[in-house]
């Protein structure tokens, strides 16, 4: 250290406290990075890597970015999963004795970034904290730093269950204590989720204290608040008390089910289009869009609350003109939640406060419109709206109508708000008028029409005369100040006096205005909670209006709920598929699950619509429990507590899991957590292994669900042998998606009918897919042969599968190398290896066996 310059030593001391972050070290107009930070950042940001003398014999690697454009670079680093510590000069270099004092004023992390081009204002950006309560039980707290919204819940299950909930919430960063860090580090790194460790003493705070939060759960809240205070180093007064989400009060949808059902993200390209969120998002505000996503992720599971929402949607559908009026007013309301966050963290500009004021102007109008409604429920809703009169009064009197974006150049405060500021403004305004008058007088006195009075920061105000007119000037009154190529610049005693008046008025006025603005902004912090509460109610109204708009547009109906478990949907439709295709071509299907017959075994060819049918049932349940009307002619539903799906096939290459392993893990999770009030959707279980393995697993699972769980279940399969189970399982019914042959080709009717399918039409589907005719003809020939000799796999005795480990019994008949390979195979844990690692192992064994022959 002693070999480095004092400034580099200072850098090392600060960097030692933020080893896991890029340190943006402020030097004048640049943020500089040194050593490894510089080498890595130059590659990531594609900026020039240079070097500088730091006192040692070798040059120090260095790169930097201008401070005024640093936000884009910071955002790039954070988006890639890095943290950035912002180190500012905290004293004036002109008055500093020795090295300028520098301190880290903020740490930007993937979970705490609140602004930028990659931040979607219509989505919550959560950072979470997890704490293990006991074996198989975790507390998960999470906060959207931009809005201050905080929630906490208990997650029951293993590590995979916790990760699934984290993924479902779209978190980019999780904070844990040391005991969980080791357990989760591998899993999080494979999923591009930053795992941060917080070992500081947990801080108490109002937002982590609530009578509704169990004591053991609040530890996760405190850990998260401690981390946020340590990294943000600013006021977090906008953080609201954590809302404790009880599992019994919501419909739980795990990450796999959200993905399979395409609730907020398309499976095909990860976009919003083609999702339930895309269908329902007719919201007028960003906070309404976030509320909608929240309701999709956590629909209600309380019959009374669901029916309350449905009744409000019903009233809004009937009050068409009122609905149109409310939507128009909400479109002029800004994002009050994010504005509250900026005010609390001291980032709000004059324009932000103007947006808050303009939004509050609409609240009395919204309130009055609801109160004038003919519907009692809407009148009651209006009583929940707080106009925040005190806040509006302060902003109306203080903030200019159209303030600039900058807060240090004036123009933010209204005339008449502060007497001294008005005096400065008057002096500045009149001084400029005097300068214009002086310019006219000097032109008349000298006869020089091109004479002008100008200003620059170096010389102040000056009189400029072109060289061709200098002979007309009164050089006894004029004092030369600067010579240019084509002109001379002069000053006079009168001009200097006016300059002092104007410049002092402008600088002191600007400084006073900034002070006044900060005072107003700080005053707003006292009212943040009221504004946030108002924002929550307005966002709720926004979503209810969106539900009513969508329900009317797409002919949705109001669902009924009952206390039992039966489900009856008449002519239901998949709302997203229907929107994306010609409505006249969509074939609706009914679904009935009775109390004594609540399992459907669905057969039918590929492409016939089995998966769509299953998904539309799940979407109907989700939409209904969100409080939205549903796509059918009639729906009478139970209150469902959880939805589990196993639809589609996808390898998890990141963790080395095959399609079949993923299928089994998701099935195990569903069966292990489902209750009698859950909805289970299983699509072609067992297709990832041999026929008999798959069929046996499928049947065993169906029997277990039937006998042990009793949940409403839709189970599709290509194993026609399973259709015989309806004779053994009294609550199981067979249905099929109809298809027919026409001139040798299959025609899908997309209609769900009672009974089992008579054939699979697999070859016909292959023909539709464009497989060469020669293959199709040969397949038909082979099928006829199999059927004629009754040698289909279903009628053959199950061949015993060879075990890797049976070779051990005959190890005496093979050489030592083979014995060694067999031993290695037995000891290798293939399930915890990536596909590439497994392939390398197999190649190694193959090479060893070749050598021994």
DSSP H helices in 172-330: 178-190, 218-232, 255-260, 276-280, 286-297, 303-318, 320-330
Fold exhibited by the domain 126-245: Nucleotidyltransferase; domain 5 (3.30.420)
The count of other CB atoms within 10 Å of the CB of residue 226 is 21
User: 105: part of which helix (H) or strand (E)?
Assistant: strand 102-108
pLDDT digits (tens, 9 = 90+) for 385-424: 999 999 999 999 999 999 998 888 889 999 999 999 998 8
CATH superfamily of 6-108: DNA repair protein MutS, domain I (3.40.1170.10)
pLDDT digits (tens, 9 = 90+) for 622-639: 999 999 999 999 999 999
pLDDT band at 803 (very low <50, low <70, confident <90, very high): very low
Task: Yes or no: say if 278 and 264 are a contact pair by the CB < 8 Å rule.
Answer: no
Mean pLDDT of 224-238: 90
pLDDT digits (tens, 9 = 90+) for 486-503: 999 999 988 888 888 787
The answer on pLDDT for 571 being more than 50 is: yes
Residue with tokens 């600013």: 234
pLDDT digits (tens, 9 = 90+) for 505-542: 888 899 999 999 999 999 999 999 999 999 999 999 99
Write down the pLDDT at residue 656.
42
Write down the pLDDT at residue 815.
60
pLDDT band at 307 (very low <50, low <70, confident <90, very high): very high
User: 589: part of which helix (H) or strand (E)?
Assistant: strand 589-593
Percentage of residues in the chain having pLDDT higher than 70: 86
Query: What's the rounded Cα separation, in Å, for the pair 196 and 816?
Result: 49
The count of other CB atoms within 10 Å of the CB of residue 316 is 27
Q: Does domain 419-517 bear CATH number 3.65.10.10?
A: no
Task: Yes or no: say if 324 and 304 are a contact pair by the CB < 8 Å rule.
Answer: no
Q: Give binding residues for ATP as ranges.
A: 604-611
Write down the pLDDT at residue 191.
81
- Per DSSP bridges, beta strands 21-27 and 83-89 are parallel
pLDDT digits (tens, 9 = 90+) for 430-479: 887 888 889 999 999 999 999 999 988 788 899 999 999 998 988 888 99
Write down the pLDDT at residue 738.
82
Mean pLDDT of 115-133: 88
Write down the pLDDT at residue 326.
97
Mean pLDDT of 50-79: 90
Based on the number of CB atoms within 10 Å of its own CB, is 449 exposed (0-12), middle (13-18) or buried (19 or more)?
Answer: exposed
Write down the pLDDT at residue 561.
97
pLDDT digits (tens, 9 = 90+) for 752-772: 888 887 666 666 666 666 677
Write down the pLDDT at residue 760.
62
Q: Give binding residues as ranges.
A: 604-611
pLDDT band at 657 (very low <50, low <70, confident <90, very high): low
Write down the pLDDT at residue 800.
44
Mean of the per-residue pLDDT values for the chain? Answer: 86
The answer on pLDDT for 205 being more than 70 is: no
> Are the folds of 6-108 and 286-388+530-553 the same?
no
Write down the pLDDT at residue 546.
98
Based on the number of CB atoms within 10 Å of its own CB, is 231 exposed (0-12), middle (13-18) or buried (19 or more)?
Answer: buried
Q: Which of 190-199, 259-268, 384-393, 654-663 has the weakest average pLDDT?
A: 654-663
pLDDT band at 786 (very low <50, low <70, confident <90, very high): low
Residue with tokens 């949607």: 313
The answer on pLDDT for 572 being more than 90 is: yes
Write down the pLDDT at residue 688.
62
User: 551: part of which helix (H) or strand (E)?
Assistant: helix 528-553
pLDDT digits (tens, 9 = 90+) for 691-741: 677 788 888 889 999 999 999 999 988 888 888 998 899 999 999 888 776
pLDDT digits (tens, 9 = 90+) for 46-59: 999 999 987 777 88
Query: What's the rounded Cα separation, in Å, for the pair 544 and 826?
Result: 59
Task: Yes or no: say if 630 and 556 are a contact pair by the CB < 8 Å rule.
Answer: yes
Query: What's the rounded Cα separation, in Å, for the pair 605 and 761?
Result: 6
pLDDT band at 653 (very low <50, low <70, confident <90, very high): very low
Write down the pLDDT at residue 761.
61
Write down the pLDDT at residue 833.
64
Domain boundaries, the chain: 6-108, 126-245, 286-388+530-553, 419-517, 560-760, 804-852
Task: Yes or no: say if 23 and 87 are a contact pair by the CB < 8 Å rule.
Answer: yes
Mean pLDDT of 342-348: 91
CATH superfamily of 560-760: P-loop containing nucleotide triphosphate hydrolases (3.40.50.300)
Write down the pLDDT at residue 758.
66
Write down the pLDDT at residue 795.
42
Domain 286-388+530-553: give its CATH code: 1.10.1420.10
Write down the pLDDT at residue 755.
85
pLDDT band at 809 (very low <50, low <70, confident <90, very high): very low
The answer on pLDDT for 573 being more than 60 is: yes
Task: Yes or no: say if 150 and 221 are a contact pair by the CB < 8 Å rule.
Answer: yes
């Amino acid at each position: 250290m002693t070999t480095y310059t004092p400034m580099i030593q200072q850098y090392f001391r600060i960097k030692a406290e933020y080893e896991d972050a890029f340190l943006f070290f402020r030097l004048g107009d640049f943020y500089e990075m040194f050593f490894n930070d510089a080498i890595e950042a130059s590659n990531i940001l594609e900026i020039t890597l240079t070097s500088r003398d730091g006192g040692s014999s070798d040059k120090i690697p260095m790169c930097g970015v201008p401070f005024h454009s640093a936000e884009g670079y910071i955002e790039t680093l954070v988006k890639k999963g890095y943290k950035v510590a912002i180190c500012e000069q905290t004293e004036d270099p002109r008055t500093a004795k020795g090295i300028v004092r520098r301190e880290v004023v903020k740490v930007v992390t993937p979970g705490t970034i609140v602004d930028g081009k990659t931040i979607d204002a219509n989505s919550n950006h959560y950072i979470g904290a997890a704490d293990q309560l006991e074996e198989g039980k975790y507390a998960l707290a999470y906060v959207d730093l931009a809005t201050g919204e905080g929630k906490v819940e208990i997650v029951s299950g293993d590590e995979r269950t916790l990760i699934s909930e984290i993924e479902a919430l779209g978190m980019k960063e999780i904070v844990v204590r040391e005991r969980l860090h080791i357990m989760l580090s591998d899993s999080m790194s494979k999923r591009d989720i930053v795992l941060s460790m917080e070992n500081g003493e947990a801080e108490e705070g109002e937002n982590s204290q609530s009578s509704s939060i169990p004591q053991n759960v609040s530890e996760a809240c405190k850990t998260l608040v401690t981390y946020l205070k340590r990294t943000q180093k600013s006021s977090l007064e906008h953080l609201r008390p954590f809302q404790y989400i009880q599992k019994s009060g919501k419909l739980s949808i795990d990450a796999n089910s959200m993905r399979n059902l395409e609730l907020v993200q398309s499976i095909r390209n990860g976009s919003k289009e083609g999702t339930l969120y895309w269908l329902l998002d007719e919201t007028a505000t960003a906070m309404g869009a976030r509320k909608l996503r929240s309701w999709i992720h956590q629909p209600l599971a309380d019959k009374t609350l669901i029916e309350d929402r449905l009744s409000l949607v019903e009233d809004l559908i009937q009050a068409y003109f009122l609905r149109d009026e409310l939507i128009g007013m909400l479109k002029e309301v800004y994002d009050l939640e994010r504005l509250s966050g900026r005010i609390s963290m001291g980032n709000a500009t004059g324009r932000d406060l103007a947006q808050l004021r303009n939004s509050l102007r609409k609240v009395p109008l919204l309130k009055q419109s609801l109160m004038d409604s003919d519907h009692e429920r809407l009148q009651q809703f209006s009583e929940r709206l707080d106009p925040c009169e005190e806040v509006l009064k302060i902003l109306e009197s203080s903030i200019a109508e159209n303030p600039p974006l900058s807060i240090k150049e004036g123009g933010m405060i209204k005339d008449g708000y502060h007497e001294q500021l008005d005096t400065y403004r008057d002096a500045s305004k009149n001084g400029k008028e005097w300068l214009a008058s002086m310019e006219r007088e000097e032109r008349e006195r000298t006869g020089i029409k091109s004479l002008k009075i100008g200003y620059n920061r170096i010389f102040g105000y000056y009189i400029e005369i072109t060289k061709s007119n200098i002979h007309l000037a009164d050089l006894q009154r004029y004092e030369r100040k600067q010579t240019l190529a084509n002109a001379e610049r002069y000053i006079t005693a009168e001009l200097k006096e006016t300059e002092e008046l104007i410049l002092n008025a402008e600088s002191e006025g600007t400084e006073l205005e900034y002070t006044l603005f900060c005072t107003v902004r700080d005053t707003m912090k006292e009212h943040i909670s009221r504004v946030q509460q108002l924002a929550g109610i307005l966002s709720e109204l926004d979503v209810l209006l969106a539900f009513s708009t969508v329900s009317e547009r797409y002919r949705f109906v109001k669902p009924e709920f009952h206390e039992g478990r039966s489900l009856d949907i008449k002519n239901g439709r998949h709302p997203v598929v229907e929107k994306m295709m010609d409505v006249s071509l969509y074939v609706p299907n009914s679904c009935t699950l009775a109390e004594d017959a609540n399992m459907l075994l669905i057969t039918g060819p590929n492409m016939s619509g089995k998966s769509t049918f299953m998904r539309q049932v799940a979407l109907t349940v989700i939409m209904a429990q969100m409080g939205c009307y549903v796509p059918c002619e009639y729906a009478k539903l139970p209150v469902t507590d959880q939805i589990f799906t196993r639809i589609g096939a996808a390898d998890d290459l990141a963790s080395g899991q095959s399609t079949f392993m993923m299928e089994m893990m998701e099935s195990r999770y569903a069966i292990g957590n489902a209750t009698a009030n859950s909805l289970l959707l299983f699509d072609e279980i067992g297709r990832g292994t041999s026929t008999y393995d798959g069929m046996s697993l499928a049947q065993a699972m169906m029997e277990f669900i039937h006998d042990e769980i009793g949940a409403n279940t839709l189970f599709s399969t290509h194993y026609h042998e399973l259709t015989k189970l309806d004779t053994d399982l009294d609550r199981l019914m067979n249905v099929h998606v109809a298809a027919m042959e026409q001139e040798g080709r299959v025609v899908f009717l997309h209609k769900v009918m009672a009974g089992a399918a008579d054939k699979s039409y697999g070859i016909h589907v292959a023909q539709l897919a464009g497989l060469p005719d020669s293959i199709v003809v040969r397949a038909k020939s082979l099928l006829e042969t199999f059927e004629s000799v009754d040698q289909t796999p279903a009628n053959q005795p199950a061949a015993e599968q060879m075990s890797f480990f049976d070779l051990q019994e005959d190890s005496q008949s093979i050489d030592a190398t083979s014995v060694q390979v067999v031993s290695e195979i037995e000891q290798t844990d293939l399930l915890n290896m990536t596909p590439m690692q497994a392939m390398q192992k197999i190649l190694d064994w193959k090479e060893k066996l070749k050598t021994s022959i």
